[in-house]
């Protein structure tokens, strides 16, 4: 991945993270500024990593459906042309303009990942689209599960009486 793509993915992760963290901070005014910035930056790295893993996970799913492994790795990496719409969708969906808009934008970005995956595998367009969709949903569910676990752990840690 080129440095420009890494920067685009980090900015998309930052926008996604801000859309999730800022409403939480608004509801809890007791959160310090340094903790808020740390949460925001950590979320940006995690969301950026999830975005970076999306094509790789889709390629892995495509390999599982095929009998032979895919030899060309081009479908498993982001290019600046593919990452720019992802950044745009993250910025447009910030801050919580609506889950439906967010979903539609990510479907559009996911559709742009389908053609390179289908071109480098023996899968037709619909099967490649299925791999991209399953990978996106799987990564989204995994991140949401970890996010809820962190919130639950932090909430129980805050409720313990201090002695």
Residue 57 in contact with residue 138, Cβ under 8 Å?
yes
> Given a cut of 80, is residue 113 above it in pLDDT?
yes
Which of 81, 74, 49 is closest to 59 using CA atoms?
74
Of 42, 64, 58, 55, nearest to 5 by C-alpha is: 55
- Does the pLDDT of residue 20 top 90, yes or no? no
What pLDDT, on the 0 to 100 scale, is given for residue 106? 76
Q: How confident is the model at residue 147 (pLDDT cuts 50, 70, 90)?
A: confident
Contact 76, 55 (CB under 8 A): yes
130 pLDDT above the threshold of 90 = yes
Condensed to tens digits (0 to 9), the pLDDT of residues 40-98 reads: 888 888 888 888 888 888 888 888 887 656 666 555 667 777 777 667 666 655 555 55
Specify the length of the chain in residues. Answer: 163
Q: What mean pLDDT, rounded, does the chain reach?
A: 77
pLDDT: is 151 or 111 the higher one? 111
Q: DSSP per residue over 111-137, as a string?
A: HHHHHHHHHHSS--HHHHHHHHHHHHH
Could you tell me the residue ranges of all domains in the chain? 3-159
Q: Which of 44-48, 80-84, 136-140, 157-161 has the lowest mean pLDDT?
A: 157-161
Between the two ends of the chain, the Cα-to-Cα distance in Å is: 50
The answer to whether the beta carbons of residues 46 and 57 sit under 8 Å apart is: no
Predicted local confidence at residue 135, as pLDDT: 92
pLDDT of residue 66: 78
- Is residue 154 predicted with pLDDT exceeding 60? yes
Tokens linked to 41: 């930056």
Please tell me whether the overall predicted TM-score, pTM, comes out greater than 0.85 for this model.
no
Can you list the pairs that 63-67 forms with residues at least 24 positions away whose Cβ atoms lie under 8 Å?
Answer: 63/121, 65/123, 65/127, 65/131, 66/121, 66/122, 66/123
């Amino acid at each position: 991945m080129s440095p420009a793509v890494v920067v685009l993915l980090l900015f998309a992760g930052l926008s996604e993270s801000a859309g999730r963290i800022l409403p939480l901070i608004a509801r809890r005014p007791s959160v310090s500024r340094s903790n808020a910035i740390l949460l925001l930056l950590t979320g940006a790295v995690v969301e950026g990593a999830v975005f970076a893993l999306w094509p790789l996970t889709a390629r892995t799913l495509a390999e599982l459906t095929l009998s032979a492994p895919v030899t060309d790795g081009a479908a498993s990496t982001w290019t600046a042309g593919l990452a720019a719409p992802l950044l745009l969708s993250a910025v447009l969906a910030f801050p919580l303009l609506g889950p439906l808009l967010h979903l539609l934008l990510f479907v559009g970005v996911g559709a742009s990942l389908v053609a390179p995956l289908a071109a480098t595998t023996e899968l037709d367009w619909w099967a490649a689209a299925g791999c991209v969709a399953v990978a996106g949903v799987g990564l989204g569910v995994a991140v949401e599960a970890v996010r809820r676990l962190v919130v639950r752990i932090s909430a129980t840690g805050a409720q313990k009486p201090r002695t």
